[in-house]
Amino acid sequence: DSGVTQTPKHLITATGQRVTLRCSPRSGDLSVYWYQQSLDQGLQFLIQYYNGEERAKGNILERFSAQQFPDLHSELNLSSLELGDSALYFCASSVGSLGTDTQYFGPGTRLTVL
Amino acid sequence: GDSVTQMEGPVTLSEEAFLTINCTYTATGYPSLFWYVQYPGEGLQLLLKATKADDKGSNKGFEATYRKETTSFHLEKGSVQVSDSAVYFCALSDTGSTLGRLYFGRGTQLTVWP
């Protein structure tokens, strides 16, 4: 158990819908990262937050947004969903935001868009 | 841009065989290098890491040495077990900045038979 929790574990929805994925980091960790894992793209970095502020953006679509709240949990919002958004979404946390900091991954949320 | 290339799988070995999974990287700065392992249905777990050239990361019998001259971080284990069956990901982050985002390889599926 990494100490990072993600809810829900599975999500099945229809095209055009909007969903929210939730992540609680390990106690004491200030950074939260979101990654998308799909068969065709592999593991792709989406976005990073550090202590409530956006720190870096990767290959995140404009239909996707995220935020980190004062209690440091984070939510990833996916809207106008398309079939191609079906993937495993991982949240990771680390104590700081440096490249040397180990990232601890949650179990993931599997999103299926029908 | 920064990237990681790791050998394609799947890799199938008998128990007690020697394992090597090749990983090479391209980076503009001075990255930290990581190996993560993903067991079926689970999130990624850090296996080992190295933060500077010539560092050797090791854990659970696995080893990898950060080779700057060959831009490589190959994973090795002298005697694999059935329980090592999983997907292995090589990853890098750029320590030249305060961004901790990880760039992942495509993953190598390892199956160990008794």
Distance CA A104, CA A107 (A): 10
Q: Tell if the CB–CB gap between A99 and B107 is shorter than 8 Å.
A: no
pLDDT reported for residue B98: 60
Please write the tens of the pLDDT for every residue from B77-105: 999 999 999 999 999 987 655 667 899 99
List, in sequence order, every beta strand (DSSP E) within chain A: 5-7, 10-13, 19-24, 31-38, 42-50, 53-57, 64-68, 74-78, 87-94, 104-105, 109-113
pLDDT reported for residue B30: 80
Nearest to A2 among B43, B100, B105 (CB): B43
Please write the tens of the pLDDT for every residue from A28-62: 999 999 999 998 889 999 999 999 999 988 889 99
Nearest to A56 among B44, B89, B99 (CB): B99
CA-based nearest residue in chain B for residue A108: B43
Q: Tell if the CB–CB gap between B45 and A2 is shorter than 8 Å.
A: yes
Q: Tell if the CB–CB gap between B100 and A101 is shorter than 8 Å.
A: yes
In the predicted model, what is the mean pLDDT of chain A? 94
CA distance A59 to chain B (A): 11
Answer yes or no: are the C-beta atoms of B38 and B87 closer than 8 Å. yes
Please write the tens of the pLDDT for every residue from A64-74: 999 999 999 99
> Chain A residues with CB inside 8 Å of B42's CB?
107
Q: What is the mean pLDDT of residues A75-97?
A: 95
Q: Tell if the CB–CB gap between B101 and A45 is shorter than 8 Å.
A: yes
Q: Sign of the CA dihedral B77, B78, B83, B87?
A: positive
> Chain B residues with CB inside 8 Å of A25's CB?
none
pLDDT reported for residue B97: 59
pLDDT reported for residue B95: 61
- CA-based R_g, chain A, Å: 13
